[in-house]
Amino acid sequence: MDDDEDPVGTLARERFGLEYLFPYQRLVIANVIDTATAFRAADGHSGEGTPDREGNPEDGPAPEAPESCPLRQIVVLPTGSGKSLCFQLPALLLPSPTLVVFPLLGLMADQRRRLETNGVACASFQGGMERKDVSLELERIENESVKLILTNPESLGSTGIRALFEKSGIFHLVIDEAHCVPEWGESFRPAYLRIGEFIRDHAPMAVTAFTATASPEVLARMAELLFGGERYALITGDADRPNIHYSVARTYSRRRTIERLARELPKPMILFCGSRDGAQIVAETLAAREVSDSVRFYHAGLDKAEKKTIENWFFTSRDGILVATCAYGLGMDKPDVRTVIHADPPPSIEAYLQESGRAGRDGKDSSAILLRCLGEAERDGNECVPSGRKKAVLSYADDDGCCRRESLLSYLGSPFTACFGCDVCEGTANGTADGEEEFLSFVRTNPRRYDAAEACERLCGTAGEPCALYGALRGWDEGDASSAIEGLIRDDKLRKHRGPIWKDLISLSGKRGKGHRSSHGTG
């Protein structure tokens, strides 16, 4: 095909160095370009581009587009499949700017960095901007040097954004990570619920909502909030990431298991925690235990300069460990992350797929490990989304009888063909937690002989007289062993006696654990 016949392919090659676009990328882009063509035809023009939507006041009101012209589409494509190109490429072919709504300032900064690396000028509007900075951005846009404008939901009603629609005639409105509309809008970011009102008030000719994961429930709610009763096109791709190996690591000692995995598994690594304090504590613990000399933490509470420094560090790191909340999980494009670990269960399957999808964006083999911490109350403190659908995540973690990949895809309603790697299908899924067999064997062999502290000393081989299974957990930290025993007691697998004869001594409870079920029958 000649370059004149394929301007999108030419642009992809010359500006982004891409020789090939996937069919679904072509379809999304074609929908936007076709809408622009139809709108222009309604105005009596021909050729590329779109007119200023406001028109010239002297020429009367702008013409109405044909009924079939406005575009409303939802695009569900897996992480790493090139969603950004689906709005970046057509933006460069449209004379009116494209406005992209991002959930996080860090993601906006990452997108701007990547665009400017490819020589694509962009502007951004966010809260707290000085008036002179807003005026400067508007001037750049008005001079047609900028085709992409980046913002967040809270800034859609700002002076700068309103001026954009008055002066530039935004043609294409993009909502990135659109699953946040129902998930975050109905919990802690009400600005997301106002995007639908913004669309109806300003009526951009093209609106595209992108997400990597959406269950049928989330998809329906997203469409309702954004488009109301308007018809929309739905474009979906295969949600599977064949290069990611999925597994679950059960533990009664979160700190011990995190340390072991952080030492053993390939880097670069992202370790997701459910809270800001948790992320900082884990990072400081890994550094103190000399797991790595390249560990940092990242969360929404850091100031802009700190975030930028950490983002730049991790993007170029070959062996770094980034301990983060979900503030880093959306759209950050480091291609060579080899391992993603979740220290806390994320609030939904969608969130898990989004965050585990940070691994292996370069297409190379990578791993996603979910910690299932037993013997403790479920912690609903994830600061990004409440725990409405967390039960599905826990069911995924507890089921050793079903392929992990099949479980994830079936939740999204996506077809499943074959497993390319998970602990269940490989026969390595273990119904017992790290060290659990050693603890239970020790207590079974030495019933009502030691209290918890004495048992830890002997299991770790650090103190006390020799006994059966002395040193069975040599190398464990006594504090980690103690937390594991407490978890086993809470899970009703061990018993701490209360009576005067054996007070505080431990033995087997003789009951199955209440907090865990698995096909291995160890629960």
pLDDT digits (tens, 9 = 90+) for 29-71: 999 999 988 887 766 554 444 333 333 334 444 444 444 568 9
Helix (H) or strand (E) holding 322: strand 321-324
What distance in Å separates the CA atoms of residue 324 and residue 310, rounded to the nearest whole number? 11
Look up residue 403 and give its amino acid.
C
Query: How far apart (Å, rounded) are the C-alpha atoms in residues 294 and 141?
Result: 40
Q: Give residue-wise pLDDT tens across range 96-120.
A: 889 999 998 878 888 888 888 888 8
H or E segment and range at residue 366:
strand 366-373
Tokens standing for residue 306: 């700190």
Residue 337 contacts residue 363 (beta carbons within 8 Å): no
d(CA 32, CA 289): 53
Tally Cβ neighbours within 10 Å of residue 37: 17
Quick one: pLDDT at residue 104? 86
- Token pair listed for 381: 């403190």
For the chain, give the number of residues.
523
CA-closest candidate to residue 234, choices 77, 87, 75, 409: 75
Query: What percentage of the chain's residues is helix, strand, coil (to nearest 5)?
Result: 40, 15, 45
Are 344 and 371 a contacting pair, CB within 8 Å? yes
Neighbours of 413 (CB within 10 A): 13
Supply φ then ψ for residue 422, to 5 degrees.
Answer: -155, 160
Report the chain (523 residues): mean pLDDT per 10 consecutive residues: 69 88 90 88 51 37 50 90 91 90 86 86 88 88 85 89 79 94 90 94 94 89 94 89 95 95 97 96 95 93 90 94 87 87 92 90 94 74 54 92 94 87 94 92 95 96 94 94 94 90 90 43 34
Cα 174 from Cα 167, distance rounded (Å): 19
HSE toward the beta carbon, residue 128, CA cutoff 13 A:
2
H or E element that contains 395: helix 390-398
Q: For tokens 């013409």, what's the residue?
A: 63
In whole angstroms, give the CA distance from residue 370 to residue 461: 30
Provide the b/e sequence for 49-71 (b: ≥16 CB within 10 Å).
ebbebeeeeeeeebeebeeebbb
Contacts with 52 (C-beta within 8 Å, 6 or more apart), sequence order: 62, 95, 96, 168, 169
Note the pTM of the prediction, 2 decimals. Answer: 0.75
Distance CA 120, CA 373 (A): 45
Query: How many Å apart are CA 486 and CA 477, to the nearest integer?
Result: 14
Do residues 462 and 481 make contact, with C-beta atoms less than 8 angstroms apart?
no
Which of these, 253, 251, 208, 252, lies nearest to 226 by C-alpha position?
208
Chain segment 227-264, per-residue pLDDT in tens: 998 999 999 888 888 999 999 999 999 999 999 999 99
258: exposed, middle or buried (C-beta count within 10 Å: 0-12, 13-18, 19+)? buried
At which residue do the structure tokens 């990578």 appear?
366
What's the token pair of residue 41?
């035809």
Q: Which domains does the chain have, with CATH numbers?
A: 3-236 (3.40.50.300), 244-426 (3.40.50.300), 436-508 (1.10.10.10)
DSSP string for residues in 84-118: HHHHHHHHHH-SS-EEEE-S-HHHHHHHHHHHHHT
Instruction: Write the DSSP symbol of residue 66.
Output: P
